Amino acid sequence: MKLTTAQALVRWLLAQRSETLDGREVPLFPGVFAIFGHGNVLGLGTALEEHRDELPSWRGQTEQGMALAAVGYAKATHRRQVGVVTSSIGPGALNMVTAAGVAHANRLPVLLLPGDTFTSRAPDPVLQQVEHFGDPTATVNDAFRAVSRYFDRITRPEQLLSTLPQVARVLTDPADAGPVTLALPQDVQVETYDFPEALFEPVTHRLLRPRPDRRSLTEAAAALRAARKPLLVLGGGVRYSGAGERALAFAERHGIPVTETTAGRTLVPHGHPLHAGPLGVTGSASANVLAAEADVVLAVGTRLQDFTTASWTVFSPEVRLITLNAARFDAVKHGALAVVGDADAGLADLAGQLESRRVDPLWTERAAAERGRWDAHIDSLRAVSDAVPTYAQVVGAVNDLSEPQDYVMTASGGMPGELIGGWRGSGSVSMDVEYGFSCMGYELAGAWGAAMAHTGGLVTTMLGDGSYLMLNSELFSAAFAGHPFVAVVCDNDGFAVIARLQEGQGGNAFNNFLADCRTAHASPPRVDFARHAESLGCAVFTASSLDDVRAAYAKAREAAVAEKRPAVVVVRTQPKSWTEAGAWWEVGVPEHLSGRDGIDRAKPSQVRYLNA
């Protein structure tokens, strides 16, 4: 078939299918997010227009926002579907690098198709081309190499034949999942080649379930049999494997307390007697207490990042760590006993070796007892009668009014600690907290993608004023396209959680709260978030008290669904009230600053803690 490179790529995208966790067949690539410019409008743009009914194209307002929406889509579909994002060359392409970092850190698949400069070099230097004096082959798209799981620059049409199978491999393999970047020079996009018809035959990509090596299973089972106080940690890999029920059955059979990471949050019903709560800095004191006492930790589907492990202070120094992970890269970290394989298959095999062995009931019962104390603490935070609502109270109000099939999300600042530590889920997979890259702006752009994918319930995203100002343009994209969700914007006058970190470690208040930032005005301007969101096509509701929050959120839910557009709730919140899990986090505190007593006090205490 004589096709241009761009036409062949689009036809290949259409031929790829995926099998969901419940066995349904769906398109692997359900749509394309596109902003056209020179470098993609005539090549890829023309090819997409030819198939506009089969492969929907959604126009965003920023390339970063579109790519973050694709990331949110991948998370909401358990990595079973992949968003495609295309841009022009130059700034359009570079705008997607941050989103690629989000996808890479969180092991989420996304396909990025940035335009690129001419391979012929005949018209060089073209508009937006950055010339490298010593390397004419380098373009701005080389910036994607550091944040791509797979990168290629297509310089001849026939190169698609060898690279597209690798693209599919990376996007669908649980061990390798992450962003793929195919840089597409604008002259190559429109060159033709006689492509074999076999390239466009339908292919269904099914979830791989590699089984662990029997010897590592035997060793892991022996360690668990010898454990007196084992702890089960569930990460995002459990979610993507569809192994939540298997993990709970495993814990119930052996009486092992269960805790969750950020990516694994809401896998366990909140009230389950074995649920110890979420783990780590943004988790719960209940889970952290059990983690400190555990002698064996079985961590399933998690890369154990610093917020989960409290910079590796949450576990006892003598703990025996067992990791079950599809990616060997993650499984071997920190000297763990590595069991490499699918979470569902691995837990089934491990249960077979453990047979009916059960833990001491006194340890089993600690999960519910400790979590009960944490629940009482959260209840006390929600019951505070201050006039200005706290983050904890806003989360509680949204939690109370949400349905079991709903989907809640956040990304950065102080909200992750409130949502992870305070949310009470029913056990359905209902939460997306992007805290692998902690990307401000993901909250709104990612919600657009999640709203496309999660059609069984309503998506609610929660964010601060800083994130709203960082990236809000995809509110208009969602409103224009007709994808409803609710955004709860908590306005506390600045980057409050970073101010907390700054001042808590001895620094002076500086450049975080708006009151501490440089300005030429005695009375600086304030953002009217309600009017701004309304101008972007959203339904808007404001709140100044906790009762207002409940009423506004209820109305926003109704409006979003009825009007098929985002509904925004704007609420003033307290700037210095937080949910504390009582865990350590390692940060870089200056060893000494002359005349700064706060800094001098902070660093020695940190050193003493680590040495202990």
Model confidence pLDDT, tens digit, residues 540-550: 999 999 999 99
What pLDDT digit, counting tens, does each position of 337-350 carry? 999 999 999 999 99
Q: Does 493 map to a domain?
A: yes
What pLDDT digit, counting tens, does each position of 414-457 carry? 999 999 999 999 877 789 999 999 999 999 999 999 999 998 89
Q: What is the DSSP string of 35-68?
A: ---TTTTTTHHHHHHHTTTTS-EE--S-HHHHHH
Co-location of 189 and 43 in the same domain: yes
Handedness of CA 300, 301, 305, 307 (dihedral sign): negative
What is residue 584's predicted lDDT score, i.e. its pLDDT?
82
Q: Does 60 map to a domain?
A: yes
* Edge-to-edge strand ranges of the sheet holding 567-572: 431-433, 407-410, 459-464, 486-491, 567-572, 539-543
Q: Quick check: 601 pLDDT over 60? A: yes
What six digits make up the tokens of 198?
């076999």
Q: Does 378 map to a domain?
A: no
Q: Domain span at residue 162?
A: 2-205
What is residue 396's predicted lDDT score, i.e. its pLDDT?
97
pLDDT (average), residues 18-24: 95
Burial readout 334-361 (b: 16 or more C-beta within 10 A, e: otherwise): eebbbbbbbbbbbbbbbbebbeeeebee
C-alpha 284/C-alpha 275 separation (Å) is 11
For residue 205, the surrounding DSSP H or E stretch is: strand 203-205
Q: Which of 344, 373, 402 is the last residue of a domain?
A: 373
pLDDT (average), residues 379-407: 94
What is residue 611's predicted lDDT score, i.e. its pLDDT?
29
Q: Which of 147, 181, 205 is the last residue of a domain?
A: 205
C-alpha 163/C-alpha 231 separation (Å) is 42
Give the residues across from 138 on adjacent strands. Answer: none
What pLDDT digit, counting tens, does each position of 172-216 carry? 999 999 999 999 999 999 999 999 999 999 999 999 999 999 999
How many C-beta atoms lie closer than 10 Å to residue 231's C-beta? 27
How many C-beta atoms lie closer than 10 Å to residue 578's C-beta? 18
What is residue 594's predicted lDDT score, i.e. its pLDDT?
62
Q: Does 420 map to a domain?
A: yes
**Which stretches does DSSP call E strand in 563-612?**
567-572
Provide the pLDDT confidence category of residue 49 given band limits of 50, 70 and 90.
very high
Q: Which residue has the higher pLDDT, 588 or 340?
A: 340
CB 257 within 8 A of CB 277: no
Can you say how many angstroms the Cα of residue 320 is from the centroid of all Cα atoms in its chain?
A: 28
CA dihedral 437, 439, 444, 449 (to 10 degrees): -30
What pLDDT digit, counting tens, does each position of 505-530 carry? 888 889 999 999 999 999 999 999 99
As for how many domains the chain has, the answer is 4
Co-location of 262 and 323 in the same domain: yes
Domain of 244, CATH number, reads 3.40.50.1220
What is residue 408's predicted lDDT score, i.e. its pLDDT?
98
3-state secondary structure of 150: strand
What is residue 587's predicted lDDT score, i.e. its pLDDT?
83
What is residue 348's predicted lDDT score, i.e. its pLDDT?
97
The CA R_g of the chain, rounded to the nearest whole Å, is 25
Provide the pLDDT confidence category of residue 501 given band limits of 50, 70 and 90.
confident
Provide the pLDDT confidence category of residue 597 given band limits of 50, 70 and 90.
low
For residue 125, whether the previous peptide bond is cis, meaning omega lies within 30 degrees of 0, is: yes
pLDDT (average), residues 559-566: 98
Looking at the chain, how many residues does it have?
Answer: 612
What six digits make up the tokens of 145?
């190499």
Provide the pLDDT confidence category of residue 585 given band limits of 50, 70 and 90.
confident
For residue 12, the surrounding DSSP H or E stretch is: helix 5-15
Domain of 15, CATH number, reads 3.40.50.970
3-state secondary structure of 57: strand
Q: What share of the chain is helix, strand, coil (3-state, %, to 5)?
A: 40, 15, 40
pLDDT (average), residues 402-411: 96
Co-location of 46 and 152 in the same domain: yes
What is residue 609's predicted lDDT score, i.e. its pLDDT?
32
Co-location of 450 and 353 in the same domain: no
What is residue 26's predicted lDDT score, i.e. its pLDDT?
98
What is residue 605's predicted lDDT score, i.e. its pLDDT?
44
Co-location of 539 and 432 in the same domain: yes
Q: Does 577 map to a domain?
A: no
Co-location of 175 and 299 in the same domain: no
Lowest pLDDT segment from 33-47, 159-173, 281-295, 494-508: 494-508
Mean pLDDT value across the chain: 94
C-alpha 446/C-alpha 65 separation (Å) is 8
Q: Quick check: 354 pLDDT over 50? A: yes
3-state secondary structure of 27: strand
CB 354 within 8 A of CB 252: no
Lowest pLDDT segment from 9-23, 317-331, 568-582, 590-604: 590-604
Q: Quick check: 600 pLDDT over 80? A: no
Pairing mode, strands 2-4 and 16-19: unpaired
Lowest pLDDT segment from 53-57, 350-354, 488-492, 599-603: 599-603
Co-location of 265 and 133 in the same domain: no
Co-location of 304 and 195 in the same domain: no
Co-location of 565 and 590 in the same domain: no
- What's the angle, vertex CA 434, arms to CA 422 and CA 103, rounded to 5? 160
What pLDDT digit, counting tens, does each position of 61-111 carry? 999 999 999 999 999 999 999 999 999 999 999 999 999 999 999 999 999
What is residue 506's predicted lDDT score, i.e. its pLDDT?
83
Provide the pLDDT confidence category of residue 604 given band limits of 50, 70 and 90.
very low
Pairing mode, strands 275-278 and 110-116: unpaired
Phi, psi of 482 (to 5 degrees): 90, 40
List the alpha helices (DSSP H) in 315-410.
328-331, 343-354, 361-382, 391-401
Q: What percent of the chain has pLDDT over 90?
A: 88
Co-location of 510 and 601 in the same domain: no
Handedness of CA 211, 212, 215, 220 (dihedral sign): negative
Q: Which of 328, 345, 373 is the last residue of a domain?
A: 373
Phi, psi of 288 (to 5 degrees): -65, -35
Q: What percent of the chain has pLDDT over 70?
A: 97
